[in-house]
Each structure stands twice: as C-alpha cells, then as structure tokens.
Structure 1
Amino acid sequence: MVTGKSDISGWLVRPAGGSAWAGLAAVLGALTVHTVLVTSDGGMDNAIVVNAARTWLDGESPYDDRHFLYFPSAVMAAVPQALLPRSVLDVLVPVTVTVALALGWACALLLHRVPLRSRLAALGLLGLAAGFAPFGQLVRLGNWTVTAVLALPLCLLLVSRGRWVAAGAVIGVAVALKPLLLPMALLFLFARRWAALALVVLVPAVTSVVAALFLPDPTGFLTRTLPFLVTGDDAFLRLYEASPAAVLPRLGLPQGPATGLALAAGAAGVVCAYRRWRGPGPVALRLAETSAGLMLSAFLVSRPSYNHYLLVVLPLLLAGLPYAGAVARRPWFWLALVPQLPGITWPWLESGRRRAFRDAITLGVLAVTVAYHSVRGATGARGAGGAGGAPEAPGEPSEESRGRRSAVGWVPADERRGSF
C-alpha cells in the first residue's frame, strides 16, 4: 500500500465542481419526489410504526401487529406523526429520510477529516444514491433504520473528539427508536467507557419502561415481539431476510445448523472487530472499521436482517477511502456491492422471492472482507499513516499530525493521549 501522497487520495479531497453537485441534487431530488408520488404515510415501513402509534391513541395495543418490532419508546416517538394528516406525512417523511442520509454521510466525512466540499463528498453520496439499490429502497420504505444511519457516524465523530458520554447518549437515543445499534455497546465495552456504556443501556431501557406504563399491554414487547424476533417465523419477512440463519434453510440446510453457523460467524466477526480495535492505523479508520465489524457481525445473526441495514456501515467505510490502509481500498469491498447495483436483473436471483440471496451474498462477502482486513490487512496501515499521516494508535500521534500539513491539503484526526 502507498500513502495518500502518490495515489487517488489527493484527487478525492480536492473541491468538487458544480456539475458534481448538480448531479447529486438532481438524483436526490428525483428520488425524493418519486417517493412522495408513489407512497403513503411516508412509506410502508414508516406506516407500520405510525399505525402502531395510532392504534395506541385508539386505546389498543400496538403489539397486536406482529410486524411492529420496536420498543415501546418508539410508539411515543411516532405519536407526532400519527397526529399529522397523511398528505403531510407523504411529503415530510421522504424529505426527512433523504436529509438524514445526507447528514449521516456528512458525519462520516467529518470523522475522517474529509472536506465537505470535496469530490468524495459529492461523488460518494451520488454513488450511494444512484448506484446502491438499498439507498432508494430505504427512502421509499421510510424505514427507521435511517436513525441508525445518522446516529452511528455522529457517535463515532463524537468519540474521535473524546466525547464518549455524548456518544453513548446518541446511541442510547437511537436504540430507543430502533434497537439496530445495540451491538455498538461492545465498542464502549472495548474502550472501558462505563459511563457512556450505561447511557447506551439506560436510555432505551428507561424510556421503554416509562412508555410501556402507558400502553394497554405493557409487556407486549416481551411476550409477543421478542419471541417473534428469536424465531423469525414469518413467511413474508423470510423472503427478504439476508442473514445465513434465514437464507441457508431455504437452500436445504436444517435450521439448527444454519443458526449455529450464523452464530459462529457472528462471534468470529466480533473477535476480528476487537483485533481491529487493538490494531494499528489512524484512529478514525480504526473506529469506523471496528464499528462496521461489530454491526456486520450482528447482521449475520439477527432476525430479521435486511439489505438496507448495510447503509449503517457503508458510508463509514466509503468515507475512509482516502486512507491508504482502508478496507475500501480492497477489491472485494467493491465486488461485494455489485449485487446491489440497481436496474440489473440477475439470473435466478430476481427481485421478489429470491432477492434475499443477492442480499446474503453482499452481506457475507462484505463481512468476510472487513473481518479479514481487521486481522491481516490492517497491518498495512502501520507506518502508512493514512492519506495525511493520521496517528497510528491512541496517544501515538504521527509526525505529520504533530503540525505538518499533508501533501493533499487536509489533516486527518489528531488524537492526543487520553482522548480514546
């Protein structure tokens, strides 16, 4: 691997031209307007949560709908939407989801100290919107996964600046809205940041308990939703689940061995993520790749596990492209994304009943790539110093990060001892 002085890093961080921003605005605008025209209640998935809030306002239990898989705190968070006219939601939700996705991308860029006016800023978001099918699907569905897409890079941005407690609060609020980021508790455990870890657990726990007291079925999440999440026994959802525990039985492997294989893969992924946490390389890059490893490991195990979950980790990894030691420099990273190119009909993997097989390929290849990079490939970051000579480890600033600006004109994370 080479440093950013002689590769594509310099090109990526230079200011983008007007044509790139115009193209980005056109794609995001078209996607948002199309969603407004073809969806109701902000999308099918958002409608599930809003209908749960409406059900509660009518005096019934939101957990009567088996597809409502959120904590009781999400019911209360959806009440403002339930009080709005449906015509307003049709416009408000797609716009909000698109803006949140863009803000998540911006936080990922700031984590890696990439200028927001750079070519990577414009072309990266354009590539996600136009070249990664789950992006458009997430906007059209209005799925609350978008809260995690924004919360995770914001959390890591705060961590990179030593604000662990604030980062824990961000994850706690995100988990209260949707439990997707719960595996991030392991990052705070790795770092032994107990106050921040307490917020990750207590914020959703306290808000859910308080919210449950106002529900006609206070234990509905524990008695109905939790068993459903454990078994994943739903013929409709199974068509779209990408985890090995859901896909392998459809290929003939018994459920028991498939679940065991998924658990083993997830556990191995956590071990690899810990190795990345303890390994060399720029601080921002280690934060992003450790977190991506933890989340991908969870996606291998969780039921359900959908393709738009990948948007939680993909912006973090893609924004690290200027670093010479980044996993986004690996060819298998890009090959993993090929099945998600929009507008392509894959033989025997067409949309609908078999789309989950495509999603499983992307999830599996991406998880293996990140895990391998965490154990073996990240050693190439030692001494490379990233695109601008970022510090190799907490409390070990590189020569460049002590004050010398990089040749590409930007300065990655400059961490001091004790900030991690």
Structure 2
Amino acid sequence: MLFRQLEPRTARTAAEVMKFALWPFAVMTVLNRVFIKAINGFVTDDYRPVYNASFEFLNGRPVYTANFDSVDPHYLYPPSGTLVIAPVAVIEYELSRWLFIALNAAAILLAWYLLLRLFKFGIGSVAAPALLLAMFASETVINTLVFTNVNGCLLLAELAFIHLLLRRRDLWAGAILGLSIAVKPTLAPLLLVAVVRGQWKVLITAIGVPVGLTALAWPLSKDPERFFTHVLPYLAKTRDYFNSSVGGNGAYFGLPHWLILLVQVTMGAVVAVSLWLLWRYYRHDELFFVTTFSGVLLTAYFLLPSLGQMYYSMMLFPFLMTVVLRNSVLRNWPAWLAIFGFMTYDKWLSDRWQDIGRTLEYLRVTFGWGLLLIVVFCVLGDRYLAARREGRLEFGIDPAWMANAPDSRDGVEEKPAPAPAPDRDDPVAPVEEREPALK
C-alpha cells in the first residue's frame, strides 16, 4: 500500500496537485534540516553545556559553575532537569549530540502528527505536507536542531498535554506537563489553562512530578542549592543580549526603565482583556479555547518577563494552527505579518544600511509577538462590541456569517479522485460503456 502511494501519477484535482508539489519540498526540507544543517552545527552550541553538566553530575562533581559574565550558552536546568537529562553523557559527545538531534527531530515529527489529528486532518490531506514544510522552514525548528536544545521535546509534551486535557485525562496531562517543567519551565503557564477549565487534578501531577524529581536529584547532586542561589538570580535579571522580550530589547536600545515598564503594563492589560473574553465567550468551544488561550498565554510569557528567545515560538504552533477554525482570530493579514516576524528564518542584517538592518533584525521578534497579542485583542474586542451593539451577547460574540465559514472540525475528509471514464476507443472497456456503432 505504501509503495502504491508513491507511484508517480498525474494529479486529477487541485488538492492532488498541491499534495504532489508540497510533499517533495517538505520531505527534502526535513532531511536537509536534520542531516545537513543540524549535523553541521553553528557557533552557538546549546548542547555542549548540557552535556558537560550531565557528565559532571554522573561523576559526582559540581554542576552549577557557569560564569554568567560571558555571553556563551550556560547550563540553566534545575536539579530535576539534570537528573532527567543526565543519560546523554553516558556516551561520547559527538554521537550523543547526533542522537539528541534525532530525538528532537522525532519529537517534532510526532508533534506534527498530533497537531494534524488535533484539528481533524489526516496524512492524506493537503494540510499534512503544508504544515510539515512550514514547521521545518521556520527559524524555531531550524535553530532548535542546529543549536541542539530540548525545544522539540517540549513541543511534543505540549501537544500530548493538549490532547490529554481535551480528553479529560487530567492526571496523565499533568504528568506530561510536570515532566516538561522539571526540565525547563517553558510550558508552566499552561497550568492556568487547566485551572480556568476546572481540571484541578492536573495540578496534582504537574506539581508533583517536578517536586518528586527534585527530591530524587537533590542527594545525588553535588551542588543543587546553587541552582537557587546562583542560577535563579541570573534568570531573574533582564539581560540585553540574545533576548527578544520587551525588557531585553529595551535595555539593548537604552530605553528608560519607566517606558519599558509602561509597555509591559499596557501589554499585560491587553493580554488580560483577551484572556477574559476568551474565557467568557469561548470556554465551551474546547478546541478553539484551549489552543487560543494557551497561545496568548505563552506569547505573553515570551514577551513580558525577563527572557524571551525567538525559538521559543515553537510552542505557538498549536495556536497558529487555529487558522483552520471558523472562529479563529488569525484569519487576517496583520496576524500573519506578526507571525512572519518571529517565525521566518530570514535575516534582516544589511551591509548597505547597517543601523536599519540591525534594528529590524533585533526588533522583529519583539514586534511580532507584540503585534500578535494586539491582533487577538482587537479581533475579540471588535466581536464583543459588535455583539453588544446588536444585543446578542447572551448568544456569544461570533458574527452570524461565521456559522457557514469553513472549519476543519466539520470532518470533511478529502475523497480520492474518481477513476477516469473509460476511453471510448478502449478495446478493453466493458461493452455496455462503449459508444454504440453507427449504422
């Protein structure tokens, strides 16, 4: 059956044309990113400090010894994360790095499949190669593989958490989220999604897993307390390099502290209003609510606190996929201008206009995250105000036309193209299908 699908044939429908065109691009892009770009590596190496710390942990030596005065990548995982990731140092560095790249690539591919299923798409749909190509062409996937960090595994954890949360498998959802938090707290804001949905059991395992792993790691570590006395103070500071948060770019460009604080407070209010509107009017539309609410939360988490890096945007893939839903807040061009800012691998550094190019390159992620939050606020606010004017708030805020808009949840699967009608001159066509002979 697999080889039958690979048989070269001429497309008969527009959907088949798109699939035949996109699959080779998608597959070859994946192979290039994994076996060429990732293996080649880059001057930025997120894996080396992780490997070194794991090696020191396995040999009973101190782990948290980084000099934070340098701009090199540092080891920042908590003791629970050290325990989980320590097996990577059992083998020599190069082979370990290759296997970690393979692990992340496999995690991203599995997350891609879960994302398709979440929105009711199959492997045979046009969405499959389109999404795969978009993911592996993005900066976040490319640099996750090239820098060799754990973000691919976190994306898989996020998709597994969303699937389990929607199926009300609360303890399992919490365990998956807790395991990711034990390594890196990127997905910690998703605890709020469970809370506002009243799924309190999620908190039991989401908190219990990292606490339990920390308790296990503590007696095995040489200097676990230094994570809290040495690393956490560094993480709490807003650094002015490799930092796309409002505070990071504000510090880099020398903005006064009051202005940075004003932007943070204003954007915080924008986020709060958006989250309230989503909870008030969309919490019963489970797929849309969970993916959009979590997307807004995570975007704000990248933009407003002390540290936000471009490749964190991988966690927004479920939110971006909501564009296939009829009530999506992303069906407009400003949203995709924002997404271009933090997803594209393009570089805007210019040899001819160096100052302008550097400003565009350093600010595009910050503006992208910020614009996306503003778009969500404006779309939801416009729907709310229109519904209030028309006196239909009790029925929700979606406009009437939206009921007939296309939606992936309608469950319309693409049907294979019908077999072509037999050629009238085909000698093997059934007798009843041949054109009668003229007399």
Say whether the fold is shared (TM-score over 0.5).
yes
Shift of 1:271: 4.4
- For structure 2, list consecutive stretches of 5 or more residues without a partner in the other structure: 1-12, 69-73, 385-396, 416-439
The code of the aligned residue for 1:323 comes to: L
Structure 1 stretch displaced more, 42-51 or 182-191: 42-51
Q: In structure 2, what is the equivalent of residue 359 of structure 1? A: 365
Q: Indicate the SS of the match to 1:143.
A: coil
Q: In structure 2, what is the equivalent of residue 296 of structure 1? A: 299
Q: In structure 2, what is the equivalent of residue 326 of structure 1? A: 328
Shift of 1:211: 0.8
Is 1:75 paired with 2:82?
Answer: yes
Identity of aligned residues (%): 21
Q: TM-score, normalization: structure 2? A: 0.77
Is 1:174 paired with 2:180?
Answer: yes
Shift of 1:265: 2.3
Q: 1 CA distance for matches of 2:254 and 2:153?
A: 35
Contact 1:270 1:294 in 2 (8 A): no
Q: In structure 2, what is the equivalent of residue 144 of structure 1? A: 150
Give 1:95-106 correspondences, 5 Å limit.
95-106=102-113
Q: Indicate the SS of the match to 2:311.
A: helix
- For structure 1, list consecutive stretches of 5 or more residues without a partner in the other structure: 1-10, 391-404, 411-420
The code of the aligned residue for 1:302 comes to: P
Shift of 1:28: 0.5
Q: Using a 3 Å threshold, how does the CA distance of structure 1 residues 72 and 12 change in structure 2: closer, same or farther?
A: farther
Contact 2:143 2:311 in 1 (8 A): yes
Q: 2 CA distance for matches of 1:265 and 1:100?
A: 33
Q: Using a 3 Å threshold, how does the CA distance of structure 1 residues 389 and 44 change in structure 2: closer, same or farther?
A: closer
Contact 1:97 1:139 in 2 (8 A): yes
Contact 1:53 1:75 in 2 (8 A): yes
Q: Using a 3 Å threshold, how does the CA distance of structure 1 residues 219 and 293 change in structure 2: closer, same or farther?
A: same
Shift of 1:13: 8.8
Of 227, 232, 245, the residue aligned with 1:226 is 232
Q: In structure 2, what is the equivalent of residue 56 of structure 1? A: 57
Contact 1:70 1:179 in 2 (8 A): no
Q: In structure 2, what is the equivalent of residue 380 of structure 1? A: 398
Q: In structure 1, what is the equivalent of residue 280 of structure 2? A: 278
Q: In structure 1, what is the equivalent of residue 374 of structure 2? A: 368
Q: Using a 3 Å threshold, how does the CA distance of structure 1 residues 406 and 198 change in structure 2: closer, same or farther?
A: closer
Q: 2 CA distance for matches of 1:68 and 1:263?
A: 31
Of 242, 247, 250, the residue aligned with 1:245 is 247
Of 94, 100, 104, the residue aligned with 2:101 is 94
Greater length-normalized contact order (CA 8 Å, ≥ 6 residues apart): 1
Q: Indicate the SS of the match to 1:305.
A: coil
Give 1:117-156 correspondences, 5 Å limit.
117-130=124-137, 132-156=138-162
Contact 2:116 2:128 in 1 (8 A): yes
Shift of 1:228: 0.8
Structure 1 stretch displaced more, 257-266 or 107-116: 257-266
Q: Indicate the SS of the match to 2:159.
A: helix
Q: Using a 3 Å threshold, how does the CA distance of structure 1 residues 54 and 96 change in structure 2: closer, same or farther?
A: same
Q: Indicate the SS of the match to 1:62.
A: coil
Q: In structure 2, what is the equivalent of residue 258 of structure 1? A: 260
Q: 2 CA distance for matches of 1:380 and 1:84?
A: 56
Deviations 1:257-282 (A, max 9, x none): 42463255235424422431332374
Q: TM-score, normalization: structure 1? A: 0.81
Q: 2 CA distance for matches of 1:61 and 1:13?
A: 57
Give 1:188-227 correspondences, 5 Å limit.
188-227=194-233
Contact 2:294 2:319 in 1 (8 A): no
Q: Indicate the SS of the match to 2:372.
A: helix
Q: 2 CA distance for matches of 1:283 and 1:324?
A: 14
Shift of 1:149: 1.3
Shift of 1:205: 1.9
The code of the aligned residue for 1:84 comes to: I
Deviations 1:112-141 (A, max 9, x none): 2222331112112202222x2222111101
Shift of 1:316: 0.7
Q: RMSD in angstroms over aligned alpha carbons?
A: 2.9
Q: Indicate the SS of the match to 1:103.
A: helix
Q: Indicate the SS of the match to 2:330.
A: helix
Deviations 1:137-191 (A, max 9, x none): 1110112222221111221111222222221111111111111111111111112
Contact 2:166 2:287 in 1 (8 A): yes
Contact 1:61 1:215 in 2 (8 A): yes
**Which of structures 1 and 2 has the bigger CA Rg?**
2
Q: 2 CA distance for matches of 1:312 and 1:303?
A: 18
Q: 2 CA distance for matches of 1:361 and 1:369?
A: 12
Q: 1 CA distance for matches of 2:176 and 2:227?
A: 23
Shift of 1:289: 0.2
Shift of 1:349: 5.7
Q: 1 CA distance for matches of 2:99 and 2:408?
A: 42
Contact 2:120 2:408 in 1 (8 A): no
Q: 1 CA distance for matches of 2:281 and 2:331?
A: 18
Q: In structure 2, what is the equivalent of residue 21 of structure 1? A: 23
Q: 2 CA distance for matches of 1:164 and 1:12?
A: 42
Q: Indicate the SS of the match to 2:64.
A: helix
Shift of 1:244: 0.4
Contact 1:155 1:171 in 2 (8 A): yes
Contact 1:322 1:386 in 2 (8 A): no
Shift of 1:37: 3.5
